[in-house]
């Protein structure tokens, strides 16, 4: 029996002891939900990963400071959309810290127990009066039933909320990991304009939680790309409140919990790619036979972010020369006379386009039929003889992507 039970209708409040609120605070137009709170009944261990962009938003700065001082007694997360609070100088930092204070007062805890996340337009100060009123209203309306609404409240150009939960049977008993994410553009490894709040009722020490989260993120959120840009606000955080009574501390529990966390993060990452701005294709790129995983990832990522490759996806043009071109400029040495290339919808039905660096006698119509599918895979074997493999998930680059981003601030 599968040790995981994935609940696609699960949310950030599926784990015991977590509630949420979603509020229309007036940050978006037309009374849309734009502010979310996620709150634990008990103190939580917390781990987080942030953008590697050197231009970072005020909430990222404040959250790094907060977690450096306290990673074992967190209670809540406040997330606003529409405004990134990025490139806002000292006033932006003051507003992020004021958000912590407002939430702490409303929830009856300390400011050092609050994390703040923001997403939206860069370079605009937060409307603090609206934010304060929204936080107070949210704190008064917390419920386990609000998980889906919270996922809606953090959306920007997303077309649908992204949430899921996983139940896993550990030796000490069952635990649940739940989560929500937002992201549809500015998506690239080292995370993207992406926020993810994850929760679990397992008891996990902060240092162990940190290692498990890093592994999961590197196998999921850091393996997706929509447009090659990384944001100022990228954050993935995981809160563990221990309310299931089950500890993750022995090797078997650690392995099983880690695998379930990887699964949950991968499902959320795939949701982000499938909802990519203007995307019509979901493409899995596999690179095998490399000297190392790092080499394989570098090549897969270069293919995934090539504008020429992505426009070929959009046009259902099986122009495999663009795939090899992108691989060749990735900065990883290989012998082009040894490479093999396949495409397909399902691996057993792969169509080989290149064998030992030479085109096969495939039928162009068969290749075009694969590229016309909404989901397909590409597998490039370098023939180096190594065991390095990597998988990256990406999208096409369509006319709608340009239209959405040309209009973003309006």
Tokens (6 digits) for 278:
């203007």
CA 105/CA 236 separation, integer angstroms: 25
- Which of 254, 252, 216, 258 minimizes the C-alpha distance to 237? 216
Sign (positive/negative) of CA torsion 145, 150, 153, 159?
Answer: negative
Contact, 375 vs 345, CB < 8 A? yes
The residues pairing with 395 across neighbouring beta strands, listed in sequence order, are 282
List the beta bridge partners of residue 117.
79
Structure tokens at 24: 């229309």
Q: Determine which one of 88, 157, 193, 235 is catalytic.
A: 193
358-359 and 173-182: which strand pairing? unpaired
| Residue 193 appears among annotated catalytic residues | yes
**Residue with tokens 């895979």, as numbered in its chain:** 377
Residue 29 DSSP label: S
DSSP at 83: B
**357 DSSP assignment:** T
- Where in the sequence numbering do the catalytic residues fall? 193
């Amino acid at each position: 029996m599968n040790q995981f039970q994935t609940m696609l209708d699960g949310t950030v409040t599926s784990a015991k002891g977590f509630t949420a609120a979603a509020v229309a605070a007036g940050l978006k137009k037309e009374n849309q939900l734009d502010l979310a709170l996620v709150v634990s009944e008990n103190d939580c261990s917390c781990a987080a990963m942030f953008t590697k962009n050197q231009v970072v938003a005020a909430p990222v700065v404040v959250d790094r400071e907060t977690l450096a001082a306290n990673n074992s007694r967190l209670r809540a997360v406040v997330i606003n959309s529409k405004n990134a609070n990025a490139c806002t100088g000292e006033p932006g930092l003051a507003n992020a810290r004021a958000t912590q204070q407002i939430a702490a007062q409303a929830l009856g805890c300390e400011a050092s127990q609050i994390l703040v996340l923001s997403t939206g337009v860069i370079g605009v100060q937060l409307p603090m009066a609206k934010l304060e009123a929204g936080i107070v209203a949210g704190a008064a309306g917390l419920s386990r039933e609000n998980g889906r609404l919270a996922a809606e409240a953090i959306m920007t150009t997303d077309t649908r909320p992204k949430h899921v939960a996983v139940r896993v049977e550990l030796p000490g008993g069952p635990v649940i990991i739940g989560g929500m994410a937002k992201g549809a553009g500015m998506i690239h490894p080292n995370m993207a304009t992406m926020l993810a709040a994850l929760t679990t009722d397992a008891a996990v020490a902060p240092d162990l939680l940190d290692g498990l989260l890093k592994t999961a993120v590197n196998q999921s959120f850091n393996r997706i790309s929509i447009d090659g840009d990384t944001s100022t606000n990228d954050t993935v955080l995981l809160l563990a409140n221990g309310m299931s009574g089950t500890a993750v501390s022995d090797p078997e529990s650690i392995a099983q919990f880690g695998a379930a966390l990887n699964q949950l993060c991968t499902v959320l990452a795939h949701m982000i790619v499938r909802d990519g701005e203007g995307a019509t294709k979901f493409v899995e790129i596999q690179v095998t036979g490399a000297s190392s995983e790092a080499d394989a990832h570098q090549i897969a990522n270069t293919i995934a972010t090539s504008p020429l490759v992505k426009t070929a996806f959009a046009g259902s043009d099986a122009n495999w020369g663009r795939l090899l071109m992108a691989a060749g400029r990735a900065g990883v040495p290989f012998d082009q006379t040894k490479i093999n290339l396949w495409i397909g919808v399902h691996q057993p039905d792969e169509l080989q386009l290149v064998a030992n660096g030479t085109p096969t006698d495939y039928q162009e119509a068969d290749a075009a039929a694969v590229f016309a599918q909404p989901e397909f895979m590409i597998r490039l074997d370098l023939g180096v003889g190594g065991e390095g493999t990597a998988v990256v998930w990406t999208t096409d680059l369509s006319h709608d992507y340009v239209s959405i981003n040309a209009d973003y601030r309006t």
